[in-house]
Amino acid sequence: MDNQLPNFPVQSQNYIAPNPIPVQMPGDAKIPKPSLNKKWLLIILAVFLFISIPVIAFLLIKQQSGTKSAKLAQTMNSINITPAVVTDTPIPPTPTSAATNSGTLVATPTAAWKTYTNVKYTYSIQYPNTWYNKEYSDTKTGSGFASTGIPNTSASEEIKINAIAKISDSLNLSFADYVKVAGIKEFGYKSLASIEPITTVTGITGYETTWTPQATVSASLPITYFEIPSDKTVTVEVFLNKKEDLDIYQQMLLTFKLTQ
């Protein structure tokens, strides 16, 4: 028939599928290891050295300083340095060149100084022209002196002078012997710590003394005694109340004189 399709021989062949392309899943992917940049390694090393070198230097200096301090302490201990002990009781400083071992004070110019005169017991004493004084108006026995203003209270007096009655059971003692017990009899001191004779510019002899209080072994500030020939029942006593005024105190002693 004209419309019949031709028959072609069919050959049987085995189908070979192509090799499959392996597909990697995301979880199986291998991440390449990053390699450090040599430049960054150098920067990190430089920063480390910049920080560590000053620290190491500081530690070495501190160690050397500690070694020097230890050696210094060892040296000080070897020469037996004893720290000064501060006491509450003021101790008068060692007399300067204003006093000699003979008891004679070296006078300084006092022409411009003021003069306090006690009429009742006929004595006088000079004091710096920049200082102030106030006589004891109730007894007329003496006066207080101060460098900062009128001494209205005993606490504000830096130096004072006063005529004080002798203790009755010691009236028969000579002036020199009475002075040795005056601080004990009058003020209750424990004992006499020191006594130094002095001579004023007018030739009057007095005695500068210090005393040991009952509660301590430290000496008191000076008290200087003068005798009144016209009245043997009293002694004129000059007190130092502020140790910084020792030089002025000793110069004032030189100006003491009798006015009668």
Examine the domain organization and report whether 205 and 147 are in the same domain: yes
- CA 116 vs CA 105, 136, 198, 225: distances in Å: 21, 12, 20, 17
pLDDT tens-digit series, residues 197-252: 999 999 999 999 999 998 877 899 999 999 999 899 999 999 999 999 999 999 99
Summarize pLDDT for 185-203 with one digit per residue, the tens.
Answer: 999 999 999 999 999 999 9
Q: Is residue 92 part of a domain?
A: no
Q: Are residues 152 and 245 in the same domain?
A: yes
Give the C-alpha distances (Å, rounded to integers) separating 60 from 18, 19, 48, 63: 77, 73, 18, 5
Alpha carbon distance 105, 202 (integer Å): 12
Domain of 60 in residue numbering reads as: 37-78
Total of domains in the chain: 2
Q: Within 10 A of 9 (CB to CB), how many other CB atoms are there?
A: 4
Identify the three-state secondary structure at position 120: coil
Across 45-82, b (16+ Cβ under 10 Å) vs e yields: eeeeeeeeeeeeeeeeeeeeeeeeeeeeeeeeeeeeee
Q: What pTM value is reported for the model?
A: 0.59
Residue with tokens 């070495």: 60
Kindly state whether residue 86 falls inside one of the protein's structural domains: no
pLDDT of res. 125: 97
CATH of the domain at 140: 3.40.1000.10
Rounded to 10 degrees, what is the CA torsion of 50, 56, 61, 65?
150
Q: Which residue has the tokens 């430290």?
A: 218
**What's the CA angle centered on 32, arms 26 and 33, to 5 degrees?**
135
Q: What three-state secondary structure class fits 204?
A: coil
- What's the pLDDT score for residue 85? 42
In angstroms, the first-to-last Cα distance of the chain is 190
Residues 54 and 132 in one domain: no
pLDDT given at position 37: 66
Model pLDDT, residue 111: 75
Task: Establish how many alpha carbons lie within 13 A of residue 184's alpha carbon, considering only the half-sphere containing its beta carbon.
Answer: 12
Whether residue 133 sits in one domain with residue 68: no
Inside any domain, residue 155: yes
Instruction: Please count the other Cβ atoms lying within 10 Å of the Cβ belonging to residue 258.
Output: 17
Torsion, Cα of 88, 196, 259, 203 (10° steps): -150
Residue 98, CB half-sphere, CA atoms under 13 Å: how many?
A: 18
Residue 124 within a domain:
yes
> Both 226 and 141 in a single domain?
yes
User: What pLDDT shows up at residue 172?
Assistant: 92
* Stretches in the chain below the pLDDT threshold 70: 1-37, 62-109
